[in-house]
Amino acid sequence: MPCGLDFRRTAVRSRRLPGAEWTRPVPQPQRRRLSHPAHEPTDREAAVTDPQSATTPPPTLDEVVRAVASHTPDVVGDDTPGWVAATALVLAPTPRGPSALFIERASHPGDRWSGQMALPGGKRDPGDPSLAATAARETAEEVGILLPDPVGRLDDHRERFARGHVATFVYALDVVLPTTPEPGEVAATVWIDLAHLLDPSNAVRHRYRGLGPFAGIRHGERTVWGLTLAILDGFARVLGHDLPRPRGPVLG
């Protein structure tokens, strides 16, 4: 997984002036140098890549709807081999601006994604007439919300190792609706403000089962990372924003 690091080494060469003679240097008393170890960013240190994000107000829900509706998504063809899944990015207005619905996956032995933050969604069933129908069906099953028609679609995400791809559809509600999590699939639901997702102070380096660090966004004791963060990154670009990145090297 590329880490985006770019190391450049600058070579410094000594040059002799014309006609100059080398002389044996006079030994000088050695001075003790105080060394300060390089600062290693901690997993909770925030990004400084987009300082304007902390002061720029997030777009309104109407602005989000217009931006998503005018976006032409990069879509994987239906004839592409592998599994297909769809997720729902559900937005609702609040006094603080748009808020997005997330789920915390239920914990199951042997499931490596147990307890992770995600968007509602799942794999396409043979009876689903479209991927948008898959996203709506999974949202109804997982959190008990019946969705309206989507306002648009984001770029598809290809899973390099799992040989499949994920489509994400954006939905706009009139109000924040209560949820009824399906206990076998969802441990909890949480609405996270768009302003929180775009705030650089919430970007962290996240470690998972000894791997990482990966880029993430902290919300309380939960961290959004991985595929879900990649989807949000594409969503932010559609809105003309950059999702904040944590300071220091990360995987992905």
In the chain, how many domains are there?
1
The boundaries of the domain holding residue 192 are 51-70+83-238
* Average pLDDT along the chain, 252 residues, taken 10 residues at a time: 35 36 43 39 43 69 98 88 94 97 89 83 96 98 98 90 87 97 96 97 88 91 94 97 91 74
Nearest to 192 by CA among 129, 104, 123, 131: 104
Output the pLDDT for position 68: 98
CATH number of the domain at 59, please: 3.90.79.10
Contact 48, 247 (CB under 8 A): yes
On whether residue 41 sits in a domain, the answer given is no
Is 28 inside a domain boundary? no
Residue 153 lies in a domain: yes
3-class state of residue 148 by DSSP: coil
**Residue 46 included in any domain:** no
Nearest-CA neighbor of 105 among 228, 189, 20, 21?
A: 189
Q: Is residue 15 part of a domain?
A: no
Tell me: the pLDDT tens digits for 60-104? 999 999 999 999 999 998 777 889 999 999 999 999 999 999 999
pTM for the whole structure: 0.78
Q: Which two tokens stand for residue 36?
A: 């300060």
| DSSP category for residue 136 | H
Instruction: Return the pLDDT at 136.
Output: 98
